[in-house]
Amino acid sequence: MKIHANHLPPLTQRALERDLRAFPEPWLNFMDSYGVQLVVLDGQETLADSSAVAREAVADEAGWKQRVQGVVAPALAAVEPQPHFRSALVDQLHSYLESQGSPFRVASHNAPVQLDELAAQRNVTLPYRQQWKDDLLSLNAPWSSLSAEGLQSTHGIFLLPPVPTAHGSLSDRDYQNAFSTTAESVGESLGINRGAEQRVLLHSRYLGDNAPEIGGYRVAIHEMGHALDYALEGLPDSTGYGQHHKDAVLACFQEAKSFTSDRADDNVREFFAEAVEAYLTPPSQGFDFRPENHRETLQQRNPRMAAYLDHLFRTTPGADWVSQPPAPVGLPPGFPDPDKDPIYLP
């Protein structure tokens, strides 16, 4: 499994690889083929700095530009540039771009737009700011112009282009999500699994043997346990998993909820991840921040869960097993989504 990390010290790299090898190789390969990305952030890094974002990079941006301009330019030319039409135009343009899966985002404005201020507002980093501004001007050229006062458009509407990064350009929505995922936000949670993104996020400081709070707590194993949970749940029932997996874990959870920490007491997802972590962790011979976090404790306190994991990890995933990731957790229909909806500027 590829590890997306920019600057990982050799000792930390080896500790992480050792923890990943705790998983039986067939299951590690299964999660890799399922699409799980393991991302390690450090210092001031964000997810936007990681090579992992290459998976979301916009393909054929020039083609998208040509197609969208070919629709939007004549549509705007056919409408009187009156302010009272703007709201309807914004909604229609937004709906069109969404229906097409376009990488562009609608913005509405009243006053001329200062591009440097807008770039800062959209978190475009300095090395890529000029490229982003050039792309914005080129994309909106048929219905806008740039003067000393700023960008002005014929109908008070323009499009935001994808944001350049070292690993490809990302749509504004994907970029804002990646930019806001900082190393510190991951570290505050010790680690994060994003099931819908098939992405495990780790902070480097919790991966080495001398990491704070580490002891027998293997952050990488725990978060990969979450990823495995979603992958098993997304398999067809004919594999013996899918709904069968959900039912089996729930039964174990209801029988004996806790065995290592309080956070697994009322959350079946945490229960499974902690069970995987304990099952793949041998008893420690030295200081442990969590001395009961190991296989023997799991076998004593929840033998049913231990038996389920023993059966699971002795099974070889089928070569034709295809798992479906969970749907993103979305907002109710009609509820404003600041990550997707049009941007309204002064």
What is the domain-level CATH number for residue 217? 3.40.390.10
The H-assigned helical ranges of the chain are: 10-20, 25-34, 61-77, 83-100, 115-121, 126-140, 172-180, 183-188, 219-233, 243-255, 268-279, 295-301, 303-314
Please state the rounded mean pLDDT for residues 78-85: 86
Are 186 and 307 contained in the same domain? yes
d(CA 48, CA 179): 5
Is 328 among the domain residues?
Answer: no
Nearest CA-CA partner of 86 in 154, 187, 20 = 154
Out of 114, 148, 175, pick the residue that ends a domain.
175
Is 40 among the domain residues?
Answer: yes
Q: Residue 272 belongs to what domain range?
A: 3-45+182-314
d(CA 331, CA 54): 26
Are 67 and 34 contained in the same domain? no
Out of 175, 209, 239, pick the residue that ends a domain.
175
CB 183 within 8 A of CB 43: yes
Are 152 and 207 contained in the same domain? no
Are 187 and 307 contained in the same domain? yes
Does residue 288 or residue 22 have the better pLDDT?
A: 22
Question: How confident is residue 331, by pLDDT bands cut at 50, 70 and 90?
Answer: low
CB 174 within 8 A of CB 47: no
Residue 261 has a pLDDT of: 65
Is 218 among the domain residues?
Answer: yes
Question: How confident is residue 284, by pLDDT bands cut at 50, 70 and 90?
Answer: low
Is 336 among the domain residues?
Answer: no
State yes or no: pLDDT of 72 exceeds 60: yes
State yes or no: pLDDT of 36 exceeds 80: yes
Please state the rounded mean pLDDT for residues 19-48: 95
Are 158 and 196 contained in the same domain? no
Are 170 and 188 contained in the same domain? no
Is 338 among the domain residues?
Answer: no
- Domain count of the chain? 2
Burial class from Cβ neighbours inside 10 Å (0-12, 13-18, 19+) for residue 60 reads: exposed
Please state the rounded mean pLDDT for residues 225-247: 97
CB 68 within 8 A of CB 75: no
Out of 158, 175, 192, pick the residue that ends a domain.
175
Are 8 and 92 contained in the same domain? no
Are 307 and 196 contained in the same domain? yes
Are 130 and 243 contained in the same domain? no
CA angle 330, 271, 221 (to 5 degrees): 90
Residues 295-308 pLDDT 10s: 888 888 889 999 99
Is 325 among the domain residues?
Answer: no
Is 117 among the domain residues?
Answer: yes
Are 236 and 296 contained in the same domain? yes
Is 106 among the domain residues?
Answer: yes
Are 193 and 168 contained in the same domain? no
The pTM score is 0.90
To the nearest whole number, what is the mean pLDDT of the chain?
90
Residue 207 has a pLDDT of: 86
Are 213 and 293 contained in the same domain? yes
Residues 117-130 pLDDT 10s: 999 999 999 999 99
